[in-house]
Amino acid sequence: MNISILGTGIVGRSHAEKLSSLGHTIFIGTNSVEKTRTSTKSDDMGNPAYGVWAISHPEIQLVSFQEAVNASDIVINALKGEISVQILSVYDQTLIGKILIDISNPLDFSTGMPPTLFVSNTDSLGEQIQRTLPKTNVIKTFNTMSAPVQVNPKSLAHGEHTIFLCGNDLVAKNTVISLIKSYGWTHIIDLGDIRASRGMEMLLPNWLSIWQKYNTPLFNIKIVTNEIPTQY
Ligand SMILES: NC(=O)c1ccc[n+]([C@@H]2O[C@H](COP(=O)([O-])OP(=O)(O)OC[C@H]3O[C@@H](n4cnc5c(N)ncnc54)[C@H](OP(=O)(O)O)[C@@H]3O)[C@@H](O)[C@H]2O)c1
């Protein structure tokens, strides 16, 4: 199927590559197609510029945000958190009735490292996006681990680990669960409606501490209980 991704950073590219390998047709949206297509400078993390990465991914179609939103009924938000609401609000009409998979995190780097959260406790970026797009089915997921783990859960050697999701619409959630399963995820926990974005986003400070402790972003958490988990 057609799947669109807003955001050309490491998250957008990782999902583009994965979904393309699974046989989907991928449209990846950017602010300026020409600027992104011709970019050559690596980012601060050493990731190659989109223009360099794209040479080995000719099957992925780089388009404007509007073209990306037009092209698919499933759209992934892989935009920087601080500008997500602003950019998504421009496309509110085109996004009506569609599924928006929200991976963004509300990170605030204005006071340096480590980042803080610009919304938390009584609200979340997932909820802000859902309020901005009241007729779109926003499903928050993937935001609690690094991009390589998001798209390749089996890359972690020591067994099953957990991915969360939340959102208001059950049909949309089931569609996203199918997609998550197709990536290889087996331990999927539905945390309820979109308000559960608060907790999912507030895991980030802990994620940063674990990253510092192990000096690698290639890890995840696993929920263990005495209950028999729901099988997807
Ligand atoms: N990195 C991870 O492993 C990871 C893990 C979990 C969640 N997340 C979340 O996933 C999202 C994407 O992360 P990322 O690291 O791939 O990329 P990012 O650098 O946070 O964002 C990349 C995208 O945001 C757009 N953008 C950035 N600043 C902008 C501005 N001032 N105005 C308009 N557009 C702007 C860029 O547009 P152009 O295409 O035009 O350059 C690009 O498409 C973020 O919300 C992040 O918090 C990241």
Task: Count other C-beta atoms under 10 Å from residue 191's C-beta.
Answer: 17
Distance of CA 78 from the midpoint of ligand 1 (Å): 6
d(CA 145, CA 96): 28
Each residue's pLDDT tens digit in the chain (232 positions)? Answer: 999 999 999 999 999 999 999 999 999 999 999 999 999 999 988 999 999 999 999 999 999 999 999 999 999 999 999 999 999 999 999 999 999 999 999 999 999 999 999 999 999 999 999 999 999 999 999 999 999 999 999 999 878 899 999 999 999 999 999 999 999 999 999 999 999 999 999 999 999 999 999 999 999 999 999 876 666 6
Provide the whole-model pTM: 0.97
* CA 80 / ligand 1 centre spacing (Å): 3
Instruction: Give the mutation target among 30, 40, 79 for probing the ligand 1 site: most ligand atoms within 8 A of CB.
Output: 79
Which residue in 124, 89, 97 sits closest to 198, CA to CA?
124
The set of long-range contacts for 43-52, using a CB threshold of 8 Å and a minimum separation of 24, is 43/9, 45/10, 47/9, 47/10, 50/8, 50/13
Express each pLDDT in 19-51 by its tens digit: 999 999 999 999 999 999 999 999 988 999 999
pLDDT confidence of residue 118: 98
Looking at residue 44, what is its pLDDT?
86
* Mutation to probe ligand 1, out of 4, 5, 11, 125 (largest number of atoms < 8 A from CB): 11
Q: CA of 118: how far to CAs of 95, 133, 147, in Å?
A: 25, 20, 21
**Residue 81 Cβ contacting ligand 1 at under 6 Å:** yes
